[in-house]
Amino acid sequence: MTGIFQSALTGGRALLVGWILPSLINVLIFGVVVTPKISSFDALDAEAARGAIFGLVVTAMVGLVLAALQTPLYRVLEGYLCWPKWLAHARRRRHLARKHLLRNRVDAAALALQDRTGSLAVADRPVLAAFRAHGVIGRYLEVDLHKGAVWLALLEERLHRYPVDDRQVAPTQLGNAIRRFEEYGYSRYRLDTQVLWHELNAAVGEPARKQTDDARMSVDFFVSLLFGHLIVIVAAVVGLATGTVVRPWLVVATIAVLLPLTLLWYRLAVVSTDEWAGAVRAMVNLGRHPLAAALGLTLPQGIDDERSMWLLVDDFVRTGFHPGLTTLDAYRTAPEEPEAGDASVATELAPPAS
């Protein structure tokens, strides 16, 4: 326990807030509702003190286990792990259709607003007419325009929670919300942050790293809370089936409350990725130059040349060296020549020849 608190004070705030605190909430629910006799949470004497110590120990253990398992836990919620292929494909097709509908609704509303102000280009008039004639988009268009600018901004916000590339669309909302910033560096600069993440994280400044860690902490909190609720629900169902619970009515009521709460935490985790996406976007935009310098490369002036350079770097890191990667030499920074003063000092410090 002491090590956990020391970790929290020396930079482990993400572990404490993202995983330990939600675990404490779930341990309290479990102790009060499911096993009050074992945990002694319903007592007010020395037994309660032992129960509190036991609860803190369990909280630390559960939080650390969930934090260690965060990658597979995220993959389950993203739709990559433990999903049947047919279900993953069906959900991906659904989200792809939803993305295209959002894209068309946003574009149709933008053209309609231009038409109202008289600034619609002649070439865009047939496009707007096609949107209005479409059975689904035309119906949405009138409703979206009636709801106003704030609603249109929310539609665009929902659209931006999808990756730009249709091939990157995932089976779940959380998967798409995370995938959109995982593919950001590649879609803009051909810098694959999935391959070069640790190098980029080491090259950027401390504020950018802290901003990314703090942004992810909110998502971790809701993910940990969600899985903790599921564990409590499973334990409560087992307790009801075996007849070991003290107050069955309270356990049933708790299950009824926790089930919709898991859906709420999932939704809040999706919304919280917006801040995480912004932090990763800033890390990519501001970290390209120091990353290139740290790798001994010079960023080209043209964006097409920069994209070509990062493609070569991605290939080099991912697959290793092969003859085609000698093209990367064109972007390498020439080593600095030592100054005359430095050379003389080096000569003076050099050991005598034997």
Asked if residues 171 and 92 have their Cβ atoms less than 8 Å apart, the reply is: yes
Tokens 């894209």 identify what position?
A: 103
- Residue 81 and residue 208: Cα distance in Å, rounded? 30
H-helix or E-strand spanning residue 216: helix 206-242
- Residue 280 and residue 185: Cα distance in Å, rounded? 9
Q: Which residues pair with 297 in a beta bridge?
A: 332
Give the pLDDT score at 291.
96
As a residue count, the chain comes to 354
- Residue 15 and residue 70: Cα distance in Å, rounded? 11
Give the pLDDT score at 3.
43
Asked if residues 13 and 212 have their Cβ atoms less than 8 Å apart, the reply is: no
Give the pLDDT score at 47.
60
pLDDT tens-digit profile of 33-84? 877 655 555 554 556 556 667 778 888 899 999 999 999 999 999 999 999 9
Give the pLDDT score at 42.
52
pLDDT tens-digit profile of 205-262? 899 999 999 999 999 999 999 999 999 999 999 989 988 888 889 999 999 999 999 9
**What contacts 327, CB < 8 A, 6 or more positions away?**
312
Tell me what the mean pLDDT of segment 176-185 comes to: 96
- Residue 303 and residue 213: Cα distance in Å, rounded? 29
pLDDT band at 334 (very low <50, low <70, confident <90, very high): confident
Which of 235, 242, 259 lies closest to 33, judged by CA?
235
Tell me what the mean pLDDT of segment 125-140 comes to: 94
**What does the DSSP 8-state code read for residue 80?**
S
- Lowest model confidence (mean pLDDT) among 144-158, 274-288, 322-336: 322-336
Q: What backbone torsions phi and psi does residue 83 show, to the nearest 5 degrees? A: -105, 130
Cα distance between the two ends of the chain: 59
Spell out where 256-313 has E strands.
none
pLDDT band at 352 (very low <50, low <70, confident <90, very high): low
Between the alpha carbon of residue 236 and those of residues 27, 48, 141, 221, 229, the distances in Å are 12, 22, 47, 22, 10
pLDDT band at 178 (very low <50, low <70, confident <90, very high): very high
Environment class of 342 (CB within 10 Å of its CB; exposed 0-12, middle 13-18, buried 19+)? exposed
Give the pLDDT score at 34.
79
pLDDT band at 1 (very low <50, low <70, confident <90, very high): very low
Give the pLDDT score at 6.
44
